[in-house]
Structure formats: structure tokens, C-alpha cells
């Protein structure tokens, strides 16, 4: 299959049965995004902790969290996902109704085809349904492509945070969308 081939995809609400699929695509997309940027051993250790199946099973069991799975139409292979949670970001003016787009991951092969936008629409729609007035997220400061994607969707940079992978600290831009 070449990069130009069109693959039918869909986005659906994730269920408890999707924890393993979410964990697999989470680890794969993190490795894909940060190989050559972060230390390989640190990436693997991070994925073992942050992209373990129980992490996703816990999110799926929580009433205050929503997840969506992007998958291929043929074979239902997982290729991306989004996670919406209560906000836990260093916002300059935190509000009780803030929500956070905790993760929106998509395998690189599926970038640019509208699937990321579909995941984002699902999260924004659910945030509005829940009565949130703002949706926030953290994105790696060195990921200009992702920041551009969020800016085109109306997000603005409102701050920054540090995150740790292995022994090193990295910078995230904190962005927010007024709903």
C-alpha cells in the first residue's frame, strides 16, 4: 500500500472492550512521534506506564471521561483516538467547568486526511454538551505541526508546562479554545 492510497476510516465512541486497542495505538503513535527526539529507552518506559491497557481501562470506566477511537473501515484496525477529561493543566485562570483534551493521537500515515479533525470535533462537541466553556490541551512545544492544527481550530496559547519522560524535562504549550 502506498502513502497515496485512501483508506476508509471512522470515529466512534470507545467502549470498555477497546482498552487494548487504545493502548496499542497510544504506544505506537507516541513512539512514532518521538523516535529521534527523545531517548529510546525513555520512550519505551513511558509507553509501558502511560500507555498500558489499565490506564485506558480506568479512563473508560470513569463517568467524567470520554474516549473516541478512530479505526479503519475495513478490518477495524485502530489508528487514532482522543481522550476528554476534567482539566488538570496549569491554566492562568482555572475554571470549574474547564475540560482537557488529554490526548489526541493519530498514526502519521493518517495525518492530513480529516481524521484528526473528526476526533477534535467529537471532543469539542462533547465538551459543549457537558456545559464546558473552555477546552484546554497541552502539546509538545517542538511540535509545530500539531500547534498549527490546533490554532486553525481556534485554540490559542495560554501558557506552558513542563513534563518529564525518563530523566529529562520537556516543554509543552498549553492551548485553550473558548466554547
pLDDT on residue 1: 41
Nearest Cα neighbor of 154 from 142, 167, 164, 127 is 127
Residue 89 contacts residue 103 (beta carbons within 8 Å): no
3-state SS, residue 116:
helix
Q: Model's pTM, two decimal places?
A: 0.93
pLDDT category at 2 given cuts 50, 70, 90 is very low
> What pLDDT is stored for residue 7 in this prediction?
84
User: Residue 114: is it exposed, middle or buried by C-beta count within 10 angstroms (0-12/13-18/19+)?
Assistant: exposed
Q: What does the pLDDT look like over 67-94, one tens digit per residue?
A: 999 999 999 999 999 999 999 999 999 9
The burial of 78, by beta-carbon neighbours within 10 Å (0-12 exposed, 13-18 middle, 19 or more buried), is given as buried
On the question of pLDDT at 3 being above 70, the answer is no
- pLDDT beyond 80 at 127: yes
- pLDDT, the chain, mean: 94
Q: Residue ranges per domain, the chain? A: 9-178
Alpha carbon distance 128, 132 (integer Å): 5
**Average pLDDT value for residue range 120-143:** 97
pLDDT in tens, 33-79: 999 988 999 999 999 999 999 999 999 999 999 999 999 999 999 99
Nearest 5°: the CA angle 26, 73, 101 is 35
How many Å apart are CA 42 and CA 165, to the nearest integer?
Answer: 6
CATH class of 9-178: alpha beta
Amino acid at each position: 500500500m502506498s502513502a497515496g492510497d485512501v483508506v476508509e476510516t471512522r470515529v466512534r465512541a470507545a467502549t470498555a472492550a477497546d482498552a487494548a486497542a487504545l493502548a496499542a495505538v497510544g504506544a505506537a503513535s507516541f513512539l512514532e512521534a518521538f523516535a529521534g527526539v527523545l531517548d529510546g529507552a525513555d520512550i519505551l518506559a513511558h509507553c509501558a506506564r502511560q500507555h498500558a491497557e489499565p490506564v485506558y481501562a480506568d479512563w473508560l470506566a470513569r463517568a467524567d471521561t470520554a474516549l473516541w477511537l478512530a479505526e479503519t473501515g475495513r478490518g477495524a484496525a485502530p489508528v487514532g483516538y482522543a481522550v476528554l477529561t476534567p482539566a488538570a493543566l496549569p491554566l492562568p485562570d482555572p475554571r470549574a467547568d474547564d475540560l482537557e483534551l488529554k490526548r489526541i493521537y493519530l498514526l502519521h500515515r493518517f495525518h492530513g486526511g480529516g481524521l484528526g479533525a473528526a476526533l477534535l470535533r467529537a471532543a469539542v462537541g462533547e465538551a459543549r454538551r457537558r456545559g464546558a466553556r473552555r477546552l484546554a490541551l497541552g502539546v509538545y512545544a517542538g511540535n509545530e505541526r500539531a500547534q498549527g492544527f490546533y490554532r486553525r481550530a481556534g485554540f490559542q496559547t495560554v501558557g506552558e508546562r513542563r513534563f518529564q519522560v525518563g530523566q529529562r524535562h520537556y516543554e509543552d504549550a498549553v492551548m485553550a479554545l473558548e466554547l
